[in-house]
Amino acid sequence: MSQKREVYISVDVETSGPIPGVYSMLTIGACNVYNPEQVFSCELKPISDNVDPEALAVTGLSLETLALEGLNPEAAMLQFQGWVERVAGADGVPVFVGLNAPFDWSFINYYFHYFLESNPFGFAALDIKALYMGATGSNWAGTRSSQMAAWLNPKSEGNHEALDDAQYQAEIFRLIRAIRPFQQR
Query: Pairing relation of β-strands 5-15 and 25-32?
Result: antiparallel
Query: Pairing relation of β-strands 35-43 and 92-98?
Result: unpaired
Q: Cα angle at 69 between 12 and 108, to 5 degrees?
A: 25
Q: Is 160 a catalytic residue?
A: yes
Which candidate, 44, 57, 47, 45, places its Cα nearest to that of 22? 47
Catalytic residue chosen out of the listed positions 160, 164, 174, 177: 160
Amino acid at 180: R
Which candidate, 3, 43, 2, places its Cα nearest to that of 24? 43
Sign of CA dihedral 124, 126, 129, 130: positive
Positions marked active-site = 160
